[in-house]
């Protein structure tokens, strides 16, 4: 499976979602098939956004760790993006609660994205027999 294809959609969403407001606080906006349902700032650099999508059932969490210089850098600065996928079973919070990603990535100039992949989604599109709810995890990511 080509990782570039798998994460192209989420990359576009991340680029579109993160905007500055006048106060330099992050503002996540809906786009590319994702509707932002809620935003929580968990600490100075860590955000958790909950999104809705027609591609998968229910509310989905995405944790985003921004670099320490993100809010003070030039508006035209670009950052590389690191995607961390959790195992099964698991969730988007695994990298911050068990993997200690803040200790590793918080002082590195990159954006770290930790999407939810469902407990048994394996980041692929699949069908649950008898269930009308889509399970398009590859399309979602």
The span from the CA of 67 to the CA of 122, in Å, is 28
Structure tokens at 120: 């048994």
Domain ranges of the chain: 3-140
Residue bearing tokens 């690191």: 82
- pLDDT tens digits, residue range 48-80? 999 888 877 788 899 999 998 888 878 788 899
- pLDDT tens digits, residue range 14-55? 544 454 433 456 888 898 888 999 999 999 899 999 988 887
DSSP helix/strand/coil, 125: strand
**Global pTM?**
0.75
User: Which residues, including other chains, have CB under 8 Å from residue 136's CB and lie 6 or more apart?
Assistant: 55, 56, 125
């Amino acid at each position: 499976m080509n990782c570039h294809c798998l994460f192209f959609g989420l990359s576009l969403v991340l680029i579109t979602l993160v905007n500055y407001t006048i106060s330099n606080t992050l503002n996540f906006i809906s786009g590319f098939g994702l509707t932002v349902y809620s935003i929580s700032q968990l600490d100075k650099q860590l955000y958790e956004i909950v999104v809705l999508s027609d591609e998968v059932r229910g509310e989905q969490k995405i944790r985003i760790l921004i670099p320490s210089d993100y809010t003070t850098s030039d508006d035209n600065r670009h950052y590389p993006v690191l995607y961390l996928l959790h195992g099964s079973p698991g969730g988007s919070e695994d990298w911050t609660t068990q993997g200690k990603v803040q200790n590793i990535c918080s002082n590195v100039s990159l954006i770290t994205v930790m999407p939810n992949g469902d407990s048994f989604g394996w980041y692929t599109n699949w069908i649950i027999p008898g269930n009308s709810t889509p399970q398009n995890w590859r399309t979602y990511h």
